[in-house]
Amino acid sequence: MVLVIRFLRQPKLWVTLASVVFIAVAALQQGDQLRQQNLDGRGWLWLVLGFGFSWLSIVINGVSWKVLVGWLGHSTDRFELIPLFVRTNVLKYLPGGIWHLVERVRVLRQSVGAAPAMAAVLLDPLLIVSEASLLLLPGGWQNGLACLAPLPAILMMPRWREPLLRRLESSKASQLEPAELGVLPNDYPLGSGRGGYPWTPLLWDLGFVSCRFVGFFCCVQAFRVEGALVGSWLAAFALAYSVGLVVPGAPGGLGVFEATLLMRLGAGVPEAGLLAVVLSYRLVSTLADLVAAGALEMDRLLWLRFGPKR
């Protein structure tokens, strides 16, 4: 009974559960049509290409985080930040959706301190949402949604960014406390400590989100789904990716990303084909995350086994 009450008091879990149920119901309703979505040789090649772009996007995201850490004024030479980012990326699929952040803060704080490490870790998804929101614009007016597209990027100006970041740091500190990462020094100022606009990290995030979309669009091509222009696909993907990133507790945006895409494009795109696309993309992108992290771990083990001994 106590566990049930605790579950009911966590609305973020309800959002994830409702999204997964929504996808499951849609899949059941479109079961016959889904079984007719067959892949030929061309389709499999598109999926392999989508896997490649999804894998590349992870590396670009790691580079963008390293650039962001440097922009914040911290040394990027002491730790291998890109391997750290790629290796911890798979932890986002664990329940709670914060364990990739926990590990990055744990490692980075050894060099820069707890508060600056948390600022560097939390600012990264904020910049990604800002960049992804701008990619709503190619989708046209969208019943006024395009007017809101620049808002997250505007919030990255120092005047609004710093209060938002300080509030996020304070909020996340309580969540990370069980991992002994939530205790921030009282005498250390929260926030990034930087003025100016993070143009360079934002440009790298543009490359990341664009590459991620190309991987998604390869899945669209694999199933030859028609009914929407490329700009509409891009806008729907950007919205779904942003929502999946913002909604807390959704591991890797699981369910939330797919449900948002279905609701955004379901009226203009055949639902069975769209379901095949979102499910295949989830498989492709998750596999890319696992393979990228696994390759790094294998490289580390081979180096320990066969590398030069000190």
The predicted-structure confidence for 72-126, as pLDDT tens digits, reads as follows 999 887 778 999 999 999 998 887 778 888 899 888 988 888 888 999 999 999 9
Indicate whether 155 belongs to any domain: yes
pTM recorded for the entire structure:
0.89
Q: What is the pLDDT of residues 220-253, one digit of tens each?
A: 999 999 888 999 999 999 999 999 888 766 677 7
**Amino acid letter, 62:** G
Confidence at residue 5, expressed as pLDDT on a 0 to 100 scale: 41
Contacts of 82 (CB under 8 A, 6+ apart): 59, 62, 63, 65, 66
20 is a domain residue: no
pLDDT averaged over the chain?
Answer: 85
Q: What's the number of domains the chain is made of?
A: 1
Question: Is the model more confident about 151 or about 32?
Answer: 151
pLDDT at 32: 65
| pLDDT for the residue 307 | 66
Sign of the alpha-carbon torsion through 206, 207, 208, 213: positive
Predicted pLDDT of residue 186 = 54
DSSP string, 240-295: HHHHHHHSTB-GGGTTHHHHHHHHHHTTTS-HHHHHHHHHHHHHHHHHHHHHHHHH
Look up residue 251 and give its two tokens: 């591991």
For residue 206, being part of any structural domain is answered with yes
The string of DSSP letters for 29-51 reads: HTHHHHHT----HHHHHHHHHHH
* Distance between CA atoms of residues 205 and 126, nearest Å: 10
Cβ proximity of 122 and 168 under 8 Å: yes
Instruction: Calculate what percentage of the chain has a pLDDT beyond 90.
Output: 51
pLDDT at 247: 79
**Residue 184 covered by a domain:** yes
Q: Which two tokens stand for residue 66?
A: 């390293």
Q: What is the mean pLDDT of residues 192-218?
A: 95
**pLDDT 10s digits, 254-281:** 788 989 999 999 888 988 899 999 999 9
Contact 9, 3 (CB under 8 A): no
Is residue 309 included in any domain, yes or no?
no
The predicted pLDDT at position 130 comes to 95
Nearest to 126 by CA among 185, 57, 202, 53: 202
Query: What is the per-residue pLDDT for 4?
Result: 41
Give the per-residue pLDDT at 26: 63
The domain of 139 spans 50-295
Alpha-carbon gap, residue 66 to 80, rounded angstroms: 9
**4 found inside a domain:** no
Whether 187 is covered by a domain: the verdict is: yes
Which of 131, 95, 83, 79 has its CA nearest to residue 17? Answer: 95
Question: What's at 95, amino acid-wise?
Answer: P
Strand partners, 249: 96
Residue 185 confidence (pLDDT) above 60: no
Domain annotation covers residue 42: no
